[in-house]
Amino acid sequence: MRWLDLFSGIGMYALGLERAGHEVIGFCESDVWARKILKKHWPMKPISWSIQSLNKALKELSEDTLVKTQATQHLHIQKPPDYPESVRDSSGQWLIPFAWWDVNTCCWRTWQLCFSETGQEMYAEYSEPWPASGVMRNGIVWQRQALAHPTIAPAHTFLPTLGASDGAGSSRSRYIGSQNLMVGRMSDRLRTSPNDPPCTHPHFAEAMLQLPKDYTALETEIPPE
């Protein structure tokens, strides 16, 4: 099965899908550093922060199919799915649907009607900035806030879930035993004194996520100490 990876991050879902025998055809991710990691491991796949640019790349990939379709009949715009009701995620936050995937034209569209250059009634392409976090089901995407709930346990032998904030490191006053300890951050819980490194070592983070060594290493970047 072929997949389009949205809210891609550094490609964790894509790795799992490929190991299960599926093909990932493109990525959409707003974070610059994460896109560099994706480009390192999938150099031949379209990767973009903009859903419009990704739509264009995917259209080019399927250009032959579209040309054949247009040669025989007017381009058919798929009827959109019924506008779904807002739903709640596991944290109780509301998820709002904002776009759906049009298989025939290989692009994301909204439920808003408009007119094309030829005067044909169509559904508008999604042209807003792509959200940093969301979910997709049955070709419909919902937006949600990015959350990383820590796995907090009473013993110090349990570590919180590794989150994006750990990449920024920890201040000198945040370590085990200090009054400023933030128990929801792994970079804080790994430090026992202000002299310890403020950032989680990349190799440790990769091992925690079961990634290959140097998966996040970039030749043009200086790794954190």
**Residues 150-163: tens digit of each pLDDT:** 444 444 456 677 77
Lowest mean pLDDT among 59-68, 139-148, 179-188, 209-218: 59-68
Do 176 and 143 lie in one domain? The reply is no
Would you say residue 72 has pLDDT above 60?
no
Q: Which pLDDT belongs to residue 153?
A: 45
Return the C-alpha torsion angle 152, 155, 161, 163, nearest 10. 90
- Asked if 156 and 125 sit in the same domain, the reply is no
**Do 161 and 188 lie in a common domain?**
yes
Strand partners, 87: 95
Nearest to 24 by CA among 50, 46, 48, 7: 46
Has residue 210 been placed in a domain?
yes
Mean pLDDT for the stretch of residues 29-34: 85
Q: Which domain holds residue 139?
A: 73-147
pLDDT-derived band at 24, boundaries 50, 70, 90: confident
> Comparing C-alpha atoms, which of 87, 107, 83 is closest to residue 26?
107
106 compared with 5, residue with greater pLDDT: 5
Do 212 and 152 lie in a common domain?
yes
- Domain termination site, one of 113, 147, 181: 147
| Chain mean pLDDT for the chain | 75
pLDDT of 101 over the 70 cut: yes
What gap in Å lies between CA 47 and CA 220, rounded to an integer? 19
Indicate if 79 and 129 belong to the same structural domain. yes
**Residue 13: inside a domain:** no
- 115 with 179, same domain: the answer is no
- Residue 90 in any domain: the answer is yes
pLDDT at 116: 61
- Per-residue pLDDT at 150: 45
The domain tally of the chain equals: 2
In a domain, 28, yes or no: no
- Whole-angstrom Cα Rg for the chain: 21
Which pLDDT score, from 0 to 100, does residue 78 have? Answer: 61
12 or 157: whose pLDDT is higher?
A: 12
What is the average per-residue pLDDT within 195-210? 82
